[in-house]
C-alpha cells in the first residue's frame, strides 16, 4: 500500500471515528424500529392453521404427465373452477380471490403423489378447504383426463397451528442497512467538511508544527491542573521553552482566528503550568472587547491593563494574585474609545517594565480575523502560539489567521490543537 493509499485510508478511519455517534444512533434506531415492527406484526397477525392432504395420481410415470400436460395439474388446481367450488362449499364465507391464495399444490418428485396444503383461520376452516380442493381437483382432473387415476389417500389429513414467527432476518437486514446508510452519511458529510480535526489537518493547512494538543475532557469551574492537564500543558510548556531557548524571550501571545476556540483556556493552563514549574508568571487579558480571563480565575474585571496604559492606576495595584503560587493576573480593565491609541503609544514601554518582574508574560488576545489588536500586539511579543479548535476551526479561518500574523512578522512558534468543549 503506497503513501497516498495509506493516507486516504487513515482519513477515512478518522471520519468514521468522528461520526461514530451518528453511526451508532442511526444503526440502533433502525434496528429498534425493525424489532418493534416485527414484534407488532407477530402479535397483530392472526395465527393460521394448516392442513395437508394427498392424492395418489397413478403410477410413477404419471408424475411427468402431472407437470408437463396442458393444462398441468397445478394449473387445474389454481383455476377459478376449483376456487368457485370451494367458495360454494364454504357457503361464500371466503371470497373466490382469497380461496386461490389459501392453498398450494405440490407434485412429489419421487412418488406419484400430489399434496395440497391449505391454510385457514381455524382448524375446521383449513380442513374444509383442503377437503373441497382435493375433491374438486380429483373430479376436474378426471374430467379433463378421463384415463387419469386419482385416489385420495386415507388418513392423510393433518392439521397444525402455524405460529406467527418473529422475523429475525428482517431485523438483521435492517441492522445492516442502518449500518451502511449511517457510514455513507458520515463519509459524505466528512467529504464536504471544511473544519480542522486532526494534527495532520492543522499542520497541512498552516504549514506549522503542532506543539501540543488538549484532549477532550470536562473543564472545571476554577482552573486546576489535573493529571491529564498537567501532562498536556507541561508538554506545551517544554516545547515553548525549547523553541524559546533565549532567556530574553519572555512574552508569549496566545492567539486564534475566531472566538470559542480555546484561546483563553490555553493561556490560563499554560500559565498554571509555568507557575507550578517555579516560573513567576503573569497572564494579561488583552481581549479588550470580550475579556474572559477574570472569569477563569473568579475575579472582578476592575482596574486593569487599559487603566494602567491610561495612567489611572499603577501596575502593582492592578495586578491580582491567584490561588496558584507564582501566578498573577492582569485583567483587561476599563474599555475606552482610544484604547487602540493607548496600545500603540504605551504598550511597548509598559510590557518592557513588566518583563523585569516576571519570568513569563502570557497574553490572551482577541480573535485575529475580527480585530486589529493582535496586529498591534505582535510587534511587542517574543513569540506566538496559534490555537486551533478541533472540529470547530474552519480551514479558511486558520489560513487567514496565519497570513495576518506573518504579514505583521508575528513569530508563530507552533500550533496548539484544542479538543476541549
Cβ-Cβ contacts under 8 Å for 64 (sequence gap 6 or more):
none
> The CATH number of the domain where 84 resides is what?
3.30.70.100
Q: Based on the domain organization, do 371 and 226 belong to the same domain? A: yes
223 and 291 inside one domain: yes
Q: Are strands 113-120 and 103-107 parallel, antiparallel or unpaired?
A: antiparallel
Pick from 191, 207, 228: which residue ends a domain?
191
If asked whether residues 319 and 281 sit together in one domain, one would say yes
Residues 278-321 pLDDT 10s: 999 999 998 888 888 998 888 988 899 999 988 899 998 999 99
pLDDT at 10: 67
Is 103 in the same domain as 172? no
Kindly report, residue by residue over 244-279, the tens digit of the pLDDT.
776 677 899 998 888 888 889 899 989 999 999 899
**366 and 228 both lie in a single domain:** yes
In the structure, what pLDDT confidence band is assigned to residue 360 with cuts at 50, 70 and 90?
A: very high
Same domain, 72 and 215: no
Residue 311 region, left (φ>0) first, then alpha (ψ -120 to 50), else beta? left
3-class SS of residue 403 = helix
- The residue with cell 410413477 is 60
Q: Are residues 98 and 39 in the same domain?
A: no
Residues spanned by the domain of 319: 199-418
Collapsed DSSP state (helix, strand, coil) of residue 251: strand
235 in Cβ contact with 212 (< 8 Å): yes
Winning range, highest mean pLDDT, from 39-53, 89-103, 382-396: 382-396
One domain for residues 13 and 137 = no
**Per-residue pLDDT at 275:** 93
Assess whether 67 and 203 both reside in one domain.
no
Amino acid at each position: 500500500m503506497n503513501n497516498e493509499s495509506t493516507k486516504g485510508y487513515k482519513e477515512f478511519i478518522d471520519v468514521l471515528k468522528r461520526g461514530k455517534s451518528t453511526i451508532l444512533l442511526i444503526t440502533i434506531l433502525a434496528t429498534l424500529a425493525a424489532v418493534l415492527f416485527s414484534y407488532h406484526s407477530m402479535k397483530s397477525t392472526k395465527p393460521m392453521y394448516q392442513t395437508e392432504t394427498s392424492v395418489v395420481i397413478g403410477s410413477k410415470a404419471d408424475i411427468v404427465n402431472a407437470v408437463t400436460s396442458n393444462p398441468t395439474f397445478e394449473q387445474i388446481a389454481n383455476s377459478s373452477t376449483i376456487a368457485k367450488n370451494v367458495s360454494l362449499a364454504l357457503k361464500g364465507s371466503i371470497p373466490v380471490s382469497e380461496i386461490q391464495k389459501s392453498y398450494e399444490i405440490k407434485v412429489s418428485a419421487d412418488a406419484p403423489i400430489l399434496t395440497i396444503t391449505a391454510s385457514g383461520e381455524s382448524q375446521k376452516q383449513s380442513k374444509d378447504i383442503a377437503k373441497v380442493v382435493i375433491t374438486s381437483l380429483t373430479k376436474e382432473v378426471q374430467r379433463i383426463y378421463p384415463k387419469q387415476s386419482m385416489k385420495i389417500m386415507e388418513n392423510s389429513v393433518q392439521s397444525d397451528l402455524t405460529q406467527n414467527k418473529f422475523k429475525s432476518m428482517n431485523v438483521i437486514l435492517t441492522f445492516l442497512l442502518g449500518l451502511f446508510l449511517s457510514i455513507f452519511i458520515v463519509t459524505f458529510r466528512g467529504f464536504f467538511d471544511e473544519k480542522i480535526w486532526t494534527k495532520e489537518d492543522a499542520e497541512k493547512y498552516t504549514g506549522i508544527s503542532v506543539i501540543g494538543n488538549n484532549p477532550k475532557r470536562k473543564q472545571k469551574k476554577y482552573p486546576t491542573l489535573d493529571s491529564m492537564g498537567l501532562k498536556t500543558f507541561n508538554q506545551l510548556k517544554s516545547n515553548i521553552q525549547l523553541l524559546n531557548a533565549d532567556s530574553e524571550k519572555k512574552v508569549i501571545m496566545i492567539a486564534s482566528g475566531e472566538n470559542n476556540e480555546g484561546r483563553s483556556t490555553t493561556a490560563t493552563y499554560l500559565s498554571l503550568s509555568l507557575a507550578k514549574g517555579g516560573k513567576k508568571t503573569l497572564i494579561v487579558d488583552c481581549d479588550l472587547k470580550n475579556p474572559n480571563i477574570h472569569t477563569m480565575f473568579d475575579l472582578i474585571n476592575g482596574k486593569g491593563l487599559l487603566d494602567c496604559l491610561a495612567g489611572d492606576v499603577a501596575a502593582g495595584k492592578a495586578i491580582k494574585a491567584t490561588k496558584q503560587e507564582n501566578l498573577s493576573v492582569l485583567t483587561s480593565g476599563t474599555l475606552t474609545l482610544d484604547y487602540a491609541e493607548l496600545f500603540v503609544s504605551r504598550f511597548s514601554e509598559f510590557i518592557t517594565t513588566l518583563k523585569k518582574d516576571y519570568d513569563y508574560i502570557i497574553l490572551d488576545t482577541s480573535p485575529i480575523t475580527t480585530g486589529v489588536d493582535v496586529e498591534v500586539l505582535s510587534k511587542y511579543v517574543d513569540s506566538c502560539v496559534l490555537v486551533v479548535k478541533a472540529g470547530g476551526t474552519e480551514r479558511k479561518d486558520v489560513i487567514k489567521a496565519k497570513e495576518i500574523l506573518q504579514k505583521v512578522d508575528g513569530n508563530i512558534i507552533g500550533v496548539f490543537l484544542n479538543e476541549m468543549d
